[in-house]
Structure 1
């Protein structure tokens, strides 16, 4: 009887948890960011069009469509979020707040196709007071921006290599390709770190100092760290950098 009661309790609570995770994904802007990523991917494919043989280019498009299908990306990302974030409610409450919505709006604006094109040559330098610079420094240490940025860049760049490997198996040995990938990841994180404070100053330029402080306080809290660690795991799972398209479970 006790086992039956526990099973009934699980069936009663798991759907509510799943709804909360779906709500967190929605209010934190994950679907829009995925769409922005696919915009960037499409732009990268167009750049490859004139530089690759037609068969390789078509393989690139086909592999990209399979690897980065919206449902598959969301499924992989949510599975990791579920694994690493036992309780989504604190993060959900934060991103549902007026400040949380303002933060998400700023992040979505920064990754829009037109904004990426506008600042393709680099962001303007942002002057900031010592107080604001300190707050941004707290954020840059708390947010996994270096790691996430490296994963996105590697995902977009990796589709061509994946397509070549699918047409010429064994082109790169697994040990060699993994070593190259780790080296590229580290170099990208170092490049991002060099501009991270200015990037965050630009992205969150419409937040007041008190709002930045509240944001940093959340990001550095136990609940904030739990969310951003789970978010990074979800990004890595969704993008599946370093995994062949054929190995992904659809």
Structure 2
């Protein structure tokens, strides 16, 4: 019986182990970033505690917890990542020593303690012309301002989503979408205005040679394909603008 059970479990496990998209999801630091988002969500919920009536606050907590379950976010984001036709080049890059160093730097930057320490902005970085040029190329190649805007919108929209559920019709679909689009553009402008300095800080431990290799990957056909799929995966995982009801399994 024990042997039969092991064989059954093995049949269900092998496809997952052989799934390069799941490997890329892990290597890209997605589970850690999702956990950090959940930390930020918890902080956002606490900020609303004293400014909303108890019933609305509880609806906010319940709805946002339902919307942003770990399993749901992983499932939606992984489905978005599968838009990438060939995950192997990106997987090879992020499993390399340089790739792991990049992901570690990105994961560190979104930890609760780091976000609290630099809530008013990261310090101005001193860098030479070559390093600034490389960072400038990265800021053009990476969808950093788009990703930052989506995360900010996801955190900000939890209250609006709860109010809409309690008072249907409060915002018409077209009006709500227009507000989201305007807010998205505003956030992207804010993030983009200081993006180079932010990236200088996040990747401060990378040498110029490592930055050049990072730029080469980000600007390559494979790198562009990965970051396009990664942005789609992020948007799918956060599901900004979608009702909680539409995300129910």
What's the TM-score once normalised by structure 1's chain length?
Answer: 0.92
The match for 1:23 is: 23
Alignment of structure 1 residues 129-208 onto 2, 5 Å: 129-208=128-207
The match for 1:57 is: 57
Looking at structure 1, the residues matched to 16 and 75 of structure 2 have their Cα atoms a distance apart, in angstroms, of 18
The match for 1:45 is: 45
Looking at structure 2, the residues matched to 238 and 67 of structure 1 have their Cα atoms a distance apart, in angstroms, of 10
Shift of 1:211: 0.2
Q: Deviations over 1:37-70 (max 9, x none)?
A: 0000000000000111111111111111111001
Shift of 1:15: 3.7
What's the TM-score once normalised by structure 2's chain length?
Answer: 0.93
Looking at structure 2, the residues matched to 133 and 16 of structure 1 have their Cα atoms a distance apart, in angstroms, of 41
The match for 2:9 is: none
The match for 2:244 is: 245
Q: Structure 1: any 5+ residue segments left out of the alignment?
A: 1-13
Shift of 1:247: 1.4
Q: Structure 2: any 5+ residue segments left out of the alignment?
A: 1-13
Looking at structure 1, the residues matched to 110 and 173 of structure 2 have their Cα atoms a distance apart, in angstroms, of 33
SS of equivalent to 1:206: coil
Q: Is 1:35 matched up with 2:14?
A: no
Q: Deviations over 1:60-84 (max 9, x none)?
A: 11111111001111111111111x2
SS of equivalent to 2:194: helix
The match for 2:4 is: none
Looking at structure 2, the residues matched to 206 and 93 of structure 1 have their Cα atoms a distance apart, in angstroms, of 21
SS of equivalent to 1:125: coil
| Structure 1 runs, 4 residues or longer, greater than 4 Å off | none
The match for 1:92 is: 91
Looking at structure 2, the residues matched to 139 and 17 of structure 1 have their Cα atoms a distance apart, in angstroms, of 32
SS of equivalent to 2:19: helix
Residues paired across the two proteins, number: 236
The match for 1:230 is: 229
Contact 2:16 2:22 (C-alpha < 8 Å) held by counterparts? no
